[in-house]
């Protein structure tokens, strides 16, 4: 099930706007997972797959649930980047 959340971006803290904007394609409204590949390249999950599993799944049908899921994805992506960076070191 897809739910739309209407939020005035001007009322959001800049850090939250950046987290969400980094997970969107230009001109689209969907919010995607961010991943880091083995090459330590940042990518949106929609580049790897085009089904609903590429979309952020909010914890609740409101902004609080969305930003919580986005923050969790940010932490997971940072961990992926750290692992890829360590693996690339001699």
Cα–Cα distance measured from residue 73 to residue 14, given in angstroms and rounded to the nearest whole number? 18
> pTM (2 decimals)?
0.78
Summarize pLDDT for 69-79 with one digit per residue, the tens: 999 999 988 88
* Residues making up the chain, counted from first to last: 90
pLDDT tier, 47 (very low <50, low <70, confident <90, very high otherwise):
low
Q: How far is CA 51 from the centre of its chain?
A: 15
> What is residue 36's predicted lDDT score, i.e. its pLDDT?
75
> What is residue 50's predicted lDDT score, i.e. its pLDDT?
62
> What is residue 39's predicted lDDT score, i.e. its pLDDT?
65
Are the CB atoms for 27 and 38 separated by under 8 Å?
no
Largest CA distance in the chain: 47
């Amino acid at each position: 099930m897809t739910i739309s959340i209407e939020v005035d971006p001007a009322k959001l803290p800049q850090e939250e706007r950046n987290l969400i904007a980094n997970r969107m394609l230009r001109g689209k409204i969907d919010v995607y997972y961010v991943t880091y590949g083995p090459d330590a390249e940042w990518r949106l999950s929609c580049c790897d797959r085009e089904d609903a599993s590429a979309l952020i799944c909010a914890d609740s049908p409101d902004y609080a649930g969305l930003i919580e899921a986005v923050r969790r994805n940010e932490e997971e992506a940072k961990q992926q980047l750290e692992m890829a960076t360590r693996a690339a070191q001699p």
